[in-house]
Structure 1
Amino acid sequence: MTRPVLVTGGAGYIGAQVVHALHDARRRVVALDRLPAGDPRWGMLPEGVAKVIGDVGDPACLEGISRTHGLGAIMHLAARIDVAESVARPLDYYVANVLASRTLLAWAMESGIGRFVFSSSAAVYGSDQPQPVSEDAVLVPASPYGETKRLVERMLDHVAAQAGTDGEGFTAVSLRYFNVAGADRKGRTGPQAGRSDVISSACRAALEGRPFRIFGDDWPTVDGTPVRDFIHVDDLARAHLAALDLMEGADAQACVHRVFNCGTGRGYSVAEVARAVEAVHGAPLIIEEAPRRPGDVAEMVAEPSRFEMASGWRARHRDLEDIVADHYRWLARNDRQQL
């Protein structure tokens, strides 16, 4: 039997979906998250999954996991993710996203855990990139959040190179997420309170009857609003399993860090998101125009073929209205205070 996979941020929006995907694939899973005991999000995880309350940057917590679980791989999703907040509070992001990742990575190496999947982001690319953007683009992050992801990728480059020199087995995959949306098709988990992404904001505005703010209508795009590549959370969870399969297959003995885009290759504007939410909701949104936000970029669309060719993975959910419908239905079904 294969050894368990540790999922950091395992009770979060994406983390919970990844835990379900691993469990559905009959993988043993340890979910690590800072959420307190009794938080209802723990209850969204499958029966039989080991649940650990703790901080990924706490060596004592990690040592406790070492003593209890003989791990075979780590999927590192725990992070702070709000671009605008990272501009206002950059040091918090360097502590949570870079220093904690360094602690986790050092522990992984000391514990002989040689497979590591990192939750990176399209935010590493920054602005003024040719679209769709490939993994070979020059990285010029436009926000502290994007810079923290770039720095962890560089750490993985150096750790893999050193492991090869030392004759140790270490293989890593960084998945550069584009804009994640949707909810579990089986109704087990979905977007959580506090998410500020554009689809969550538009759905909540519709459900609560309040304005939906569009940050900038003068971007150099087809309709003046930012363009993004929206990937369904179910597809992203499958991408994590594909990355693990890749490391256990052709890359099993390699000391290498590989980077892949996770997107659909199709962009939709924020104005198109608003229209999709209106179609699902059955009524018009109240649109409120607002200034551009620091750290935002005009357009970000994935060139996903490298990961498709390497792993066989491909996004299944490509229609914006279908993705929005899953997201909206999850929020509509849950207690309004959880929105």
Structure 2
Amino acid sequence: MSWLVTGGAGYIGAHIVRALTAADMSPVVLDNESSGRATFVPEGVPYVRGSILDTQLLIDTMRAHEVVGVIHVAAYKYAGVSVQRPLHTYEQNVEGTRVVLAAMEEAGVSRLVFSSSAAVYGTPDVPLVTEDLPKRPASPYGESKLIGEWLIRDQAVATASSDAPLRHTSLRYFNVVGSSDPSVYDVSPHNLFPLVYEALIEGRTPKIFGDDYDTPDGTNVRDYVHIGDIAAAHVVAAQRLAAGQPVEPAYNLGSKNGLSVREIMDAMARVTGIDFTPEIGPRRAGDPDRIVATGELAARDLDWKNRYTVDEMVRSGWEARRAAG
């Protein structure tokens, strides 16, 4: 028996795969390598190259590997770019989730951990985001994740009286950073940490996208959470589902104490030893002022903790990126 990780060759998915392996939960990876890399998949882990839009491939993979649950990470995750590519975003994230659910039903797989996003909240008007806060996504990406949660909820209702009722939970988080394995690093061309790393490696000055937000220093304030903590929470959620233990429909994996982009830049200079003054560029579409979540429910049920300081997060990501050459 095994757990299928969609998007398991990506930065987040590959860390989840390693955490599942450490917990003896036999991961299987399915990834189309649109942003993932086959080299991120650990040796010995079954790897299927293909798309989550391929229903039959999903069914065949689940049956061949006796999959008992799915951790659905695969998605097009760039909030800003989703404003320019809404149709592509909906195809990958909404239709992709629908296909995963359909394949699960056909294959008799009834446990699902959905990798959602704090983007479902949009721009909250409260200091700390809780799971019951109204959902007002500010981008097609955030909307697609919220619709994904709705699809999962509705499928659970539809299968409640079946032989394999869907049991599920969604994990909402925002900026995932750092590395727990020097062979895996964030390759995104849009995320803050890799953008800064690439600029520093190439001798360029890192850029801040907007300094006129409604925050203390004018730059975005976010939860920055270490990938090791994120992966661990996914594993505990899967374990609770496998054991038939109760779970909430959704959990925020939040830091409770947000960091601004300018604070991250200061940490980058401090950790790397490269002194710089960031350039200021225009805002990116779809970027809200502040999103910081409490994480209290996840701490209660998923052993959620923030185990890393900002300098440790920066250092682990920097060392992994430099190790890649």
Q: Give the structure-1-normalised TM-score.
A: 0.91
Compared with structure 1, are the counterparts of its residues 68 and 166 closer, same or farther at alpha carbon in structure 2 (3 Å cutoff)? closer
Q: C-alpha distance in 2, partners of 1:246/1:178?
A: 23
Name the amino acid aligned to 1:269. Answer: S
- Does 1:300 pair with 2:291? yes
How far off its partner does 1:41 sit?
3.0
Which amino acid in the other structure matches residue 79 of structure 2?
A: V
Asked if 1:21 corresponds to 2:19, the answer is: yes
Aligned to 1:133: 129
- Partners of 1:29 and 1:266 in 2: CA distance: 33
Q: Which runs of 5+ in 1 are unaligned?
A: none
> Is the alpha carbon distance of 1:167 and 1:30 closer, same or farther for their aligned partners in structure 2, counting shifts above 3 Å?
closer
Q: Which moved more, 1:130-139 or 1:162-171?
A: 162-171
**Do 2:295 and 2:304's aligned partners in 1 also have CA atoms closer than 8 Å?**
no
- Specify the alignment match of 1:248 in structure 2: 242
Picking from 319, 323, 328, the partner of 2:318 is 328
Deviation at 1:209, TM superposition (A): 1.4
CA distance in 2, matches of 1:63, 1:229: 36
Is 1:114–2:114 an aligned residue pair?
A: no
Shift of 1:269: 0.5
Cα RMSD between the aligned structures? 1.8
Post-superposition offset of 1:168: 3.7
Return the letter of the residue paired with 1:316: R
For the Cα contact (< 8 Å) 1:171–1:251, is it kept in 2? Answer: no
Which residue of 171, 194, 202 corresponds with 1:200?
Answer: 194
Aligned partner letter, 1:188: S
On the 8 A contact 1:75/1:117 being kept in 2, the answer is yes
SS in structure 2 of the partner of residue 183 of structure 1: coil
Partner of 2:139: 143
Q: Tell me whether 1:191 sits opposite 2:179 in the alignment.
A: no
Asked whether the equivalents of residues 123 and 146 of structure 1 are also in contact (C-alpha less than 8 Å), the reply is: yes
Deviation of the 1:43 alpha carbon: 2.8
Structure 2: runs of 5+ lacking an equivalent: none
- Distance, in Å, in 1 between the alignment partners of 2:36 and 2:143 is 32
Q: Secondary structure at the match of 1:108?
A: helix
Query: What TM-score do the two structures reach when normalised by structure 2?
Result: 0.95
2:263 corresponds to = 272
8 Å contact from structure 2 (residues 178, 317) kept in 1 = yes
Q: What amino acid does structure 2 have at the position aligned with 1:13?
A: Y
Identity of aligned residues (%): 37
Deviates more, 1:96-105 or 1:42-51: 42-51
**Are the structure 2 counterparts of residues 171 and 40 from structure 1 closer, same or farther at C-alpha, using a change threshold of 3 Å?**
closer
Counterpart residue number, 1:218: 212
Q: Give the drift of 1:84.
A: 1.4
State the 1:4 CA deviation.
Answer: 0.4
Count of residues paired in the alignment: 325
Q: Is the 8 A contact 1:79 1:97 kept in 2?
A: yes
**Alignment-mate amino acid for residue 272 of structure 1:** E
